Amino acid sequence: MKLPERVTICEVGPRDGFQIEPEFIPTEQKIEVVNLLSEAGLPRIEVTSFVHPKVVPQLRDAEEVMAKVRRRPGTRYSALVPNDKGAVRAVDAGVDEVHTVVSASESHNLANVNMTIAESIDKLRAVMQVAERARVAVACGISTSFGCPFEGEVPLGQLERVVGRLVDMGARAIGLADTTGMANPRQVARTLEHLMPRFPGIEWTLHTHDTRAMAIPNILAAMECGVTHFDGSIGGLGGCPFAPGASGNVCTEDLVHCLHAMRVETGIDLDRLIATSRRVQEIVGRTLPGQIVKAGKWDRRYPLPDTVAGRLPNAV
């Protein structure tokens, strides 16, 4: 496998995960989780979303969370914004980066934000202008890049047109999102092999959901194409309202464990990350999908039963 020596993980659980929890996560606990993630060495954390409280009430404390998290040198703290008003709030709150999103399929975009793709891109133009004036970086995500829960397959040409519109507006960081876990590794590779040469100089990110247990295989396919930026969610928090029964994003600690087992560097302290995942489970009050918390790391060893230990042959 042709893998990079190092990759960058963006933790999205505090935003993508907490926003759909049925119970409001207290502000102090949100801050605690972000601080624990920082201490574990996460280089990028999507802390919250600056949306109208009526739309996403679970993140109505966005300003307070951003104001009270401990900023670790070397970590970039970002937030998702839906429009220029959200961008102004995010900039005023001191985010290091603004994240935006538009869908690759018209039906999903209408269901998600009640706008056509063209209307969403017009809104994003205003967001980018706000960020540019404040000298804050912007990363543009594209939902349903690999499939739509309403339309099925999203033609590659359609995805390319959305990417082109974003690049023409000045986007230099683009995330391809497998929003409902419909992608497969061959499709991921084919998509990246098509897009990357057409849009040189773009920082590509893969945002995967593990709905069908394909997230890490898809990430490995992207790594072989040269992608080195990936989103993850602590404990596998998250999901999609348009995919009943869907699990959340790829579990951050499972992904980091996989990368470290292959000797791919992340700069993340896996033991601290696992401890953070356990704390998040306590906060949400249920077992999360992550596997490493349950099974332990690959180098975990168990004592031999006495009946076996005495029968081991001497080393030759």
The confidence band for 92, taking pLDDT boundaries of 50, 70 and 90, is very high
79 domain residue, yes or no: yes
* Single pTM value for the model: 0.95
Structural domains counted in the chain: 1
**CATH number assigned to the domain comprising residue 62:** 3.20.20.70
198 domain residue, yes or no: yes
235 domain residue, yes or no: yes
178 domain residue, yes or no: yes
Asked if the model's pLDDT at residue 1 lies above 90, the reply is: no
Average pLDDT over residues 127-136: 97
> What digits encode the pLDDT tens for the residues 168-208?
999 999 999 999 899 999 999 999 999 999 999 999 999 99
316 domain residue, yes or no: no
The confidence band for 306, taking pLDDT boundaries of 50, 70 and 90, is confident
315 domain residue, yes or no: no
Per the structure, the complete domain to which residue 28 belongs is given by 8-309
Cβ burial, residue 201 (10 Å; 0-12/13-18/19+): exposed
pLDDT of 243 reads 61
Residue numbers annotated as active site: 240
Asked if the model's pLDDT at residue 112 lies above 70, the reply is: yes
